[in-house]
Amino acid sequence: MRRSVRNNADTASNRPRHSPARDTALPRTRPDLARSLPRSAFPALSAGERVYLEEWLRTVWLRGIDAVEDLAGRPWPCTVAETIIGVFRQGEDEAGWLVVGQEGQWAVATCATGDVSPPVASLSDALSLICPIDAASELEV
């Protein structure tokens, strides 16, 4: 799944993707200055899930995860899921993973191989399949 808009400085303010360094003039080595996800993004997520996604993205940014994008509103050939989150690596225009949520279950599809994880019970469990974090030391939710 390709990003909605290519990642370049000329379109930074028009990008629909959600990156920790989005719309900042500071170098991308400052993930602590990350902005919040827009309220209109990821409408199927609970408030707690949105906060977790935002904090997860800030934490894993230094490990090469560049952005997340809400893909549920894109035209699909059929109804697919309540939530589809594209997860992008730095410098890549295509999602590395799709995180899919439906009826309280989550799965992660690896785009390069087509592998799909077994279902897990939470968004945080699904994101940890992509890039685990030490919740005690890196992420407070």
The residue with greater pLDDT, 77 or 38, is: 77
pLDDT, tens digit (0-9, with 9 covering 90-100), for 58-69: 999 888 998 999
Q: Which residues pair with 116 in a beta bridge?
A: 109
CB 16 within 8 A of CB 5: yes
In the β-sheet with 65-70, what is the strand arrangement from edge to edge?
65-70, 83-89, 97-102, 105-110
In the chain, pLDDT over 70 holds for what percent of residues? 69
pLDDT, tens digit (0-9, with 9 covering 90-100), for 76-89: 888 888 999 999 99
CA distances from 14 to 2, 18, 124, 137 (A): 16, 11, 28, 34
Phi then psi for residue 22, to 5 deg, are -55, 135
- Supply the pTM of this predicted model: 0.71
Domain positions in the chain: 9-138
- Label residue 105 by pLDDT band (50, 70, 90): very high
In the chain, pLDDT over 90 holds for what percent of residues? 50
Which residues, including other chains, have CB under 8 Å from residue 33's CB and lie 6 or more apart? 20, 21, 24, 26
Residue 140 pLDDT greater than 80, yes or no: no
- Label residue 1 by pLDDT band (50, 70, 90): low
Count CB-CB contacts under 10 A for residue 127: 27
Q: What is the pLDDT of residue 26?
A: 28
Residue 35 pLDDT greater than 50, yes or no: no
- Label residue 10 by pLDDT band (50, 70, 90): very low
